[in-house]
């Protein structure tokens, strides 16, 4: 492994971690309602307590590497073949530097905190540096996709884990080949397909498995529709006495997944 690449990647990760982190309204609501942290003084006291589980939870939220983070370092990761030893080397480089970051709370102010060693380990492990997508899948992107979409796809493939089986590779290749004219939809299609591939299934008949997944989602929609009808026509007590379990799904999202799976089956 090229030491210069490792050093460059460590610098890129450090730059991202040590940039000012602006706490979102959603994170603030979580802090207030779940952690009971509402003021800057509360926050400072939490971080001063090394044994505080609230501090660890809060740092996990703030330092979780989102897609924007991964997009900035994907070209460096792709330049080399990383392994677990490479990850450990980068972790140690970052830990040895005793990193600090600035956390900014809108309308309250900012504080400087040291990033704990375990948070560096957690962040680096979530970057999936040693995951490797099959080269034929990566190469199939080049004729079809332009930046920044190409790198977005590579990041999502990396986050999905190992894609090595030929039926999976063929499925992804056909997806890219057929959906590039509709690039606005590609990421939605890719997310549904990667979610499908994350569940063990027979590789010998992938079209049949895709149709089975579509039918499973249709079944959930039908159950949700029947439940909605019951809720409109029967008292809640009667429904509970029948032992009917409440189904909570985003029907619009599930319908969209069904349509995507149907289209994917058609292009294979």
Q: How much is the pTM?
A: 0.81
Cβ-proximal residues to 191 (8 Å cutoff; 6+ apart), any chain: 156
Domain boundaries, the chain: 3-125, 133-268
pLDDT for 49 beyond 80: no
What proportion of the chain, given as a percentage, has pLDDT over 90? 29
Lookup: tokens for 93: 């480089």
What pLDDT is attached to residue 90? Answer: 93
Buried b (16+ CB within 10 A) or exposed e, 230-267: eeeeeeeeeeeeeeeeeeeeeeeeeeebbebbebbeee
**pLDDT interval class at 182 (50, 70, 90):** low
User: In the structure, what pLDDT confidence band is assigned to residue 236 with cuts at 50, 70 and 90?
Assistant: low
Q: Cα-Cα-Cα-Cα dihedral of 255, 212, 265, 226, to 10°?
A: -20
Q: Which residues contact 7 (CB under 8 A, 6 or more apart)?
A: 93
Per-residue confidence (pLDDT) for residue 216, from 0 to 100: 93
Mean pLDDT, rounded, for 173-186: 73
Q: Enter the tokens of residue 196.
A: 């499908």
| Mean pLDDT calculated for residue range 222-237 | 76
Report the 10 Å Cβ neighbour count for 106: 11
Burial 16-33 (b: 16+ CB within 10 A, else e): bbeeebebeeeebebbee
HEC profile of the chain:
CCHHHHHHHHHHHHHHHHCCEECCHHHHHHHHHHHCCCCHHHHHHHHHCCCCHHHHHHHHHHHCCCHHHHHHHHHHHHHCCCCHHHHHHHHHHHHHCCCEEEEEECCCEEEEEECCHHHHHHHHHCCCCCCCCCHHHHHHHCCCCCCCHHHHHHHHHHHHCCCCCHHHHHHHHHHHHHHHHHHHHHHHHHHHHHHHHCCCCCCCCHHHHHHHHHHHHHHHHHHHHHHHHHHHHCCHHHHHHCCCCCCCCCHHHHHHHHHHHHHHHHHC
User: Does the pLDDT at position 94 exceed 90?
Assistant: yes
Q: What is the pLDDT of residues 243-266, one digit of tens each?
A: 666 677 888 999 999 999 998 988
Which one is predicted more confidently, 55 or 67? 67
Average pLDDT, the chain: 83
């Amino acid at each position: 492994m090229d030491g210069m690449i490792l050093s460059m990647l460590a610098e890129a990760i450090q730059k991202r971690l040590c940039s000012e982190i602006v706490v979102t309204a959603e994170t603030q609501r979580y802090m207030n309602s779940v952690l009971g942290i509402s003021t800057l003084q509360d926050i400072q006291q939490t971080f001063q307590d090394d044994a505080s589980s609230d501090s660890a939870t809060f740092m996990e939220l703030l330092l979780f590497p989102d897609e924007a983070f991964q997009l900035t370092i994907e070209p460096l990761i792709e330049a080399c073949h990383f392994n677990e030893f490479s990850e450990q080397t980068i972790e140690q480089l970052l830990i040895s530097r005793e990193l600090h970051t600035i956390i900014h709370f809108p309308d309250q102010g900012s504080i400087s905190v040291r990033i704990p060693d375990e948070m560096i380990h957690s962040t680096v492990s979530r970057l999936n540096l040693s995951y490797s997508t099959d080269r034929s899948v990566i190469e199939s992107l080049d004729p079809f996709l332009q930046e920044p979409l190409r790198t977005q796809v590579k990041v999502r493939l990396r986050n999905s884990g190992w894609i090595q089986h030929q039926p999976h590779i063929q499925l992804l290749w056909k997806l890219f080949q057929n959906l590039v004219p509709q690039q606005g939809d590609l990421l939605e299609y890719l997310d549904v397909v990667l979610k499908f591939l994350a569940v063990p299934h027979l590789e010998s008949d992938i079209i049949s498995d895709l149709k089975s997944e579509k039918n499973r989602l249709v079944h959930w929609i039908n159950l949700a529709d029947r439940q909605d009808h019951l809720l409109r026509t029967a008292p809640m007590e009667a429904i509970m006495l029948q032992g009917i379990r409440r189904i909570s799904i985003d029907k619009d999202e599930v319908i969209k997944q069904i349509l995507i799976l149907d289209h994917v089956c058609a292009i294979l």
